[in-house]
Amino acid sequence: MTELTITWHTEVTPGRAGPEWFIPSTINPLVTVSDGIRTVWVSCDGDMRIDVYKDNASFLNKASTRPNWLGRVTTSKEWESVGINNDLDLQDATLLENRVDWLVQPYFDLYSSHPSFEPGRAGCLDCQTFDIYEAVDSAISYVQTINV
C-alpha cells in the first residue's frame, strides 16, 4: 500500500470539529491527503446564516419575540456572543433546546487533482460532511481507492 501524507493547514480546537467553526474559511485547503501523485483536499464550503434565540418559545414565536433574538451568526467568531462555545453547545441549542434557526449551513467538501480531471483543474468530489475528521477520513478513503 502506498504511503499517504496528511497535512493539516489549520488547527482544530478541541470540541470544535464542525464547519461552523471554520467560516469564513480563509485557509484553503484545511487539510490535504496525498499519495505523491494524487492529492485530495478538504475545504469548508458554503455560507453561514444562523439565527439564535433565547429559548424555544422565542424561536416558535419569532415575530412577536424579537427582543429574545440573540443574533444572527455568520462567522465562527460570533458564536460566543450568543452563548455557544463548542459543538456540544450547538447541538444542545439545536436539538434539545430548539432555539437555533439554520438558514444557511456550511459544510466540508473534498476536491481532487486526480488525473481524470483536466490538467491543472481541480474537481469537486461532492462528498459533503459536517465534521472535519470525517472529511479527512473520506479523503483518505478516496486516495486509497484510486490507488487500487
> pLDDT tens digits for 94-108?
999 999 999 999 999
Give the pLDDT confidence score for residue 63 in this predicted structure: 63
Question: In this model, does residue 82 exceed pLDDT 80?
Answer: yes
Confidence class of residue 59 from pLDDT cuts 50, 70 and 90?
confident
Question: In this model, does residue 117 exceed pLDDT 60?
Answer: no
Is the distance from CB of 77 to CB of 24 less than 8 angstroms?
no
Residue bearing the bigger pLDDT, 39 or 17: 17
Phi, psi of 104 (to 5 degrees): -140, 130
Phi, psi of 134 (to 5 degrees): -65, -35
Record the pTM.
0.85
User: Average pLDDT, whole number, for the chain?
Assistant: 87
Q: What cell was used for 10?
A: 489549520
Eight-class DSSP state of 2: P
Eight-class DSSP state of 145: H
